[in-house]
Structure 1
Amino acid sequence: MTILTTPKRSSFLWEPSKERIENSHIKAFADFTDQPLFPYERLHLWSTSHLGDFWSSVWDYAGVIGDKGDQAYVPSFSMPDAEWFPNARLNFAENLLRGSLDRIAAYEASETGVHHSITLRELKMEVAKAQQGLKDLGVQKGDCVAGITTNNIQGLVALIATASLGAIWTSCSPDFGTKGIVDRIGQVRPKVLIATLAYQYKEKPFHIEKKIQETTENLEGLSAVITLNGEADLPGIKTQTWEELCANDADVPDFTQTAFNDPLYILYTSGTTGLPKAIVHSVGGTLLQHVKEHQLHCDVQQDDVLFWYTNTAWMMYPWLVSGLASEAALLLYDGSPVQSDNLPHLWDVADEVGVTHFGTSPKYLETLAKADVQLKNTHSLTTLKSILSCGAPLAPEQYDWVYETLKEDLLLASISGGTEIIGCFVMGSPVHPVKRGEIACKALGMAVDVLDERGASVYKEKADLVCTQPFPSMPITFLGEGGDERYRNSYFSKRPGIWTHGDLAEQTIEEAFIIYGRADTTLNPGGVRIGTAEIYRVVEHVQEVEDSVVFGLPKDHDEEIVLCVVTKHFNEELAKNIRRQIRSQASPRHVPKRIYQVDEIPHTINGKKVEGAAKTAALGDFVKNEASLRNPSSLQSFRQLTEKEYL
């Protein structure tokens, strides 16, 4: 396979047509607010200097159902204490169940293909029945319902029914271990647990009745368990099947009104440095942030089909669900993204249901590229308008690969934000051209900057990604003792009054962005800051390397770059090739001093490399939360690292 290493003749890989710009949500929004669309930087500056006007306009433009109240923004000296829409009343679920009753609301698919679809009329009826069942169990506003669910229609109904009551939803993926589940939802003391008893991954069935029983034994305050995919005998706890929960005559859901800042979701950080942080997100902040991102930045239109490959534990799951508020259909997929005999399986599904926005990760695109998959030769992709990517930086060569092998007329947008904000700081847009290796723009309403250690805004330098003004999807708090203090310490201790996100980033002269990874895993050999993404984007294109992780280990009051690779061809020739490629495509400072072979790389359940856990294990220290890893046994190779030979 040939990977392009230089840009095309044009500095842009894609530019939007005049027609696409004219028909975009962001152009309509600019007209709606009587603001010029270009230059975009002016529109962005207006959105962050007139915060109340901007977010009030997002509410009105998106047609949010509810009472907005008479005030959009109440500033405060302290960024976390700013108030949003203090007099508003709304219901999140009501804003999802909107539009034509005959429209397709969701498609459900798995490793065996597309199963079925559901119209909005059918979805509202199923939500009504689940809502009534939850009411009968005593669930009311402010209670928490937890799900151990797969990404399917039943899970979607459970989430929406919970939100319709003004209750709080939190979820884990069924492939978590018992400790990983309890470390998360055990913090929130759910009133009801909705749990699947079986799932399938890589064509292998998994039955987890024992795991569910062990989980329920460790949840305080649990009053009932609803089982999916069968019955379970759970001593001492009221248990119903999903069918029993929904066995009632309800056909129209009620919508309990909430305040803008009432809790909606509890999401969790990866927890690789300790107990996962339980982050509480608000009803209104989540809704406004998501409709803004979907409509203004992703240009999700009515009746589009939105997809993101995610499980129910990752923040991209609620992000996907919110697509209903823009009257798009959702593609809900559960299972492995690739099959041994059919790598482009997800694209078969996407073609069948007419996906317009395909959300994925750099790792998935890398898998296809290494296998020399040429999608434009095998799939129609006629409806596809955009590919979105997050979870790790998208390498410049991957931009080239997408346009060479998928589709030329396509908006490719790498996006970056976090669980902590249930959204994005930097994104693409339908009116920005695509330049290889860069994220096009600051998200509207997000006062993003890159600050150095002096607190000065810098360009063409690697420094801290920050946000200098409040935004509605900031967390309400971290759940648990000292939650407010832990929240503020996490993001405001380095620069009081400024959100320091923890990412290493670079701002270009054109105000595009390059993300280099987490600042706390930044390498610092010889006092020079190096983002690990700069090394990965080279190593990932070495054909013999299946996976890799890089970190620094101390050496004589400095640190050495250590690269660990999964490969079947570990020899001097491979090591020389890796170093040669890194030296020529990154710099001599990026070249690892030591290269080790390991059996596998530690990843979170959501597929992110865990550099911190690998380094901690290599140093012989205790990894605080192995339960957060998809493959905790991988750490054994790193615990023995210094005993291994290296090249």
Structure 2
Amino acid sequence: AYKDPVTSFRDFHKFSNENPEAYWKMVFEEMGITFSVAPSCILRDSDAYPGGEWLPGAVLNAAANCLTAKPGRTSSDVAIVWRDEGKDSEPLNFVTVEELRKKVCLVANALDALNLAKGSAIAIDMPMNVNAVVIYLAIVLAGYIVVSIADSFAAPAISTRLKISEAKAIFTQDCILRDDKELPLYSRVVEAKAPMAIVIPARGSTPIKGLRTDDLSWEDFLGRADRTTAGIYTAVEQPAYQFSNILFSSGTTGEPKAIPWTHLTPLKAAADGWCHMDIRKGDVVAWPTNLGWMMGPWLVYASLLNGASMALYNGSPNSSGFAKFVQVKIVTYIVFFLKELHT
């Protein structure tokens, strides 16, 4: 047992290093993390894992842990608050934990209808909006691997990342809406010679035209799911070190380097948010970013696993609209990482 008093962050840091069993059990209890197979311990020495093997024997699904009510919260609490650029005078939009769960389950069921082998890599190349978050969680929930691609990349950069990851499909939008402009996106994916693309209209009511033969519109993709069970999905439980996400370095100094996340990485991301940024139940967290950069997945897990809400502004964070969005005073924690602000 740890007997020294913990009265400062320095003490807490010392406690977490000297007592990893007690510290991580406390963190997992605080976040309400569930394992289908509990780990035999928190950390053990292993020649195969430099620094030790974390949570040996654990089986879980990181996305499934995002879709359940956390201690002190209910399924009717808000998971995502969002607004589209140009609609700054309209009411905010909210997605509850239960609504998010149903959306993710629908997409997971539609993914299975594509008949891809479990463990296949599936790319996402689109702005970080509600649909992107839903797709991200659905891919992980269903036992596939997300390939994160920033929506600012040109066709050659997209192509390189698809080849390295051996992605079997890609989710994208027809275009990106920024400052009353339509920036091409699907055409870049086509130029990159991407595999089957599922294409979402940037304007929800706009039909998609001119798709390649093997590509699917968002509506047709969702239509493949059995609507009688669309809101239900049994998570594919995974060994702790199974890949859940492949991110990439920027590629500015050569070929981009693949950076794999396992199902353990989200737990560390959420724990860092809890410990170092004081993200708690009921907080609202905004970080202008993209799933193609590591802070996109970090935001998903650091908010949802801690019972907080994420705030997504579907537009330029450099605009007055973003300022109005956060001025509603719903956002309790706003983080800017200037290298990740894309216009």
Shorter-chain TM-score: what band? 0.7 to 0.9
Q: Distance in 1 between matches of 2:191 and 2:85?
A: 28
Query: For residue 161 of structure 2, what is the aligned residue in structure 1?
Result: 184
| Matched length | 325
Say if 2:158 and 2:189, in contact at 8 Å, map to a contact too.
Answer: no
Alignment of 1:543-554 (within 5 A): none
Query: For residue 90 of structure 1, what is the aligned residue in structure 2?
Result: 60
Question: Which sits farther off after the overlay, 293-302 or 158-167?
Answer: 293-302
Say if 1:226 and 1:241, in contact at 8 Å, map to a contact too.
Answer: yes
**Among 207, 225, 228, the residue aligned to 2:200:** 228
Q: Distance in 2 between matches of 1:232 and 1:142?
A: 31
Q: Which amino acid aligns with 1:50?
A: N
**Among 106, 123, 127, the residue aligned to 2:80:** 106
Q: Distance in 2 between matches of 1:34 and 1:97?
A: 36
Asked if residue 60 in structure 1 is aligned to residue 29 in structure 2, the reply is yes
Q: Distance in 2 between matches of 1:34 and 1:65?
A: 28
**Structure 2 vs 1, CA of residues 117 and 166 (structure 1 numbering), >3 Å: closer, same or farther?**
same
SS at match of 2:164: coil
Say if 2:246 and 2:260, in contact at 8 Å, map to a contact too.
Answer: yes
Q: Distance in 2 between matches of 1:296 and 1:175?
A: 32
Tell me how far 1:234 sits from its aligned partner.
4.7
Say if 1:197 and 1:212, in contact at 8 Å, map to a contact too.
Answer: no
SS at match of 1:61: helix
Q: Distance in 2 between matches of 1:305 and 1:58?
A: 20
Query: For residue 204 of structure 2, what is the aligned residue in structure 1?
Result: none
**Among 72, 82, 86, the residue aligned to 2:42:** 72
Q: Distance in 1 between matches of 2:186 and 2:141?
A: 29
Say if 1:98 and 1:324, in contact at 8 Å, map to a contact too.
Answer: no
Say if 2:34 and 2:60, in contact at 8 Å, map to a contact too.
Answer: yes
Alignment of 1:366-515 (within 5 A): none
Q: Which amino acid aligns with 1:210?
A: S
Tell me how far 1:120 sits from its aligned partner.
1.6
**Structure 2 vs 1, CA of residues 51 and 244 (structure 1 numbering), >3 Å: closer, same or farther?**
same
**Among 152, 173, 180, the residue aligned to 1:175:** 152
Query: For residue 215 of structure 2, what is the aligned residue in structure 1?
Result: 239
Asked if residue 288 in structure 1 is aligned to residue 267 in structure 2, the reply is yes
**Structure 2 vs 1, CA of residues 68 and 326 (structure 1 numbering), >3 Å: closer, same or farther?**
same
Where does structure 1 lack aligned partners over 5 or more consecutive residues?
1-31, 364-390, 392-605, 608-629, 632-647
Query: For residue 327 of structure 2, what is the aligned residue in structure 1?
Result: 351
Query: For residue 294 of structure 2, what is the aligned residue in structure 1?
Result: 315
Q: Distance in 2 between matches of 1:138 and 1:275?
A: 31
Q: Which amino acid aligns with 2:97?
A: L
CA distances 1:12-44 after superposition (whole Å, capped 9, x unpaired) = xxxxxxxxxxxxxxxxxxxx9776322433332
**Structure 2 vs 1, CA of residues 209 and 77 (structure 1 numbering), >3 Å: closer, same or farther?**
closer
Say if 1:171 and 1:185, in contact at 8 Å, map to a contact too.
Answer: no
CA distances 1:586-641 after superposition (whole Å, capped 9, x unpaired) = xxxxxxxxxxxxxxxxxxxx35xxxxxxxxxxxxxxxxxxxxxx89xxxxxxxxxx
CA distances 1:34-69 after superposition (whole Å, capped 9, x unpaired) = 763224333322322333443344223322111322
Tell me how far 1:277 sits from its aligned partner.
0.6
Say if 2:246 and 2:261, in contact at 8 Å, map to a contact too.
Answer: yes
Q: Distance in 1 between matches of 2:307 and 2:126?
A: 24
Q: Which amino acid aligns with 1:265?
A: N
Q: Which amino acid aligns with 1:61?
A: E
Question: Which sits farther off after the overlay, 52-61 or 185-194?
Answer: 52-61
Say if 2:197 and 2:215, in contact at 8 Å, map to a contact too.
Answer: yes
SS at match of 2:165: coil
**Among 114, 120, 127, the residue aligned to 2:97:** 120
Q: Which amino acid aligns with 1:92?
A: A
CA distances 1:57-113 after superposition (whole Å, capped 9, x unpaired) = 422332211132222212246763621112111111111112122111112223223
**Among 171, 174, 179, the residue aligned to 1:202:** 179
CA distances 1:351-372 after superposition (whole Å, capped 9, x unpaired) = 32600110113x5xxxxxxxxx
TM-score (norm 1): 0.47
Say if 2:286 and 2:331, in contact at 8 Å, map to a contact too.
Answer: yes
Query: For residue 625 of structure 1, what is the aligned residue in structure 2?
Result: none
**Structure 2 vs 1, CA of residues 90 and 258 (structure 1 numbering), >3 Å: closer, same or farther?**
same
Q: Distance in 1 between matches of 2:55 and 2:38?
A: 7
Q: Which amino acid aligns with 1:103?
A: D
The structure whose Rg is larger is 1
Structure with the larger RCO, 1 or 2 (CA within 8 Å, 6+ apart): 2
Where does structure 2 lack aligned partners over 5 or more consecutive residues?
202-206
Say if 1:71 and 1:86, in contact at 8 Å, map to a contact too.
Answer: yes
Q: Which amino acid aligns with 1:51?
A: P
Q: Which amino acid aligns with 2:84?
A: S
Q: Distance in 2 between matches of 1:183 and 1:81?
A: 32
**Aligned residues: percent identity?**
25
Q: Which amino acid aligns with 1:320?
A: L
Q: Distance in 2 between matches of 1:35 and 1:105?
A: 38
Query: For residue 478 of structure 1, what is the aligned residue in structure 2?
Result: none
Tell me how far 1:201 sits from its aligned partner.
2.2
**Among 254, 265, 268, the residue aligned to 2:245:** 265
Q: CA RMSD in A?
A: 2.4
Alignment of 1:595-614 (within 5 A): 606=340
Tell me how far 1:287 sits from its aligned partner.
2.3
Alignment of 1:517-528 (within 5 A): none
**Structure 2 vs 1, CA of residues 208 and 292 (structure 1 numbering), >3 Å: closer, same or farther?**
closer
CA distances 1:103-136 after superposition (whole Å, capped 9, x unpaired) = 1111222322366221222111111111110000
Asked if residue 142 in structure 1 is aligned to residue 111 in structure 2, the reply is no
Say if 1:131 and 1:162, in contact at 8 Å, map to a contact too.
Answer: yes
Q: Distance in 2 between matches of 1:270 and 1:283?
A: 23
Q: Distance in 1 between matches of 2:148 and 2:92?
A: 23
Q: Distance in 1 between matches of 2:313 and 2:307?
A: 19
Q: Distance in 2 between matches of 1:233 and 1:171?
A: 25
Q: Distance in 2 between matches of 1:279 and 1:209?
A: 25
Say if 1:184 and 1:276, in contact at 8 Å, map to a contact too.
Answer: yes
Say if 2:175 and 2:182, in contact at 8 Å, map to a contact too.
Answer: yes
**Among 1, 4, 7, the residue aligned to 1:38:** 7
SS at match of 2:251: coil
Q: Distance in 1 between matches of 2:325 and 2:51?
A: 45
Alignment of 1:605-644 (within 5 A): 606=340
Q: Which amino acid aligns with 2:297?
A: P
Q: Which amino acid aligns with 2:14?
A: L
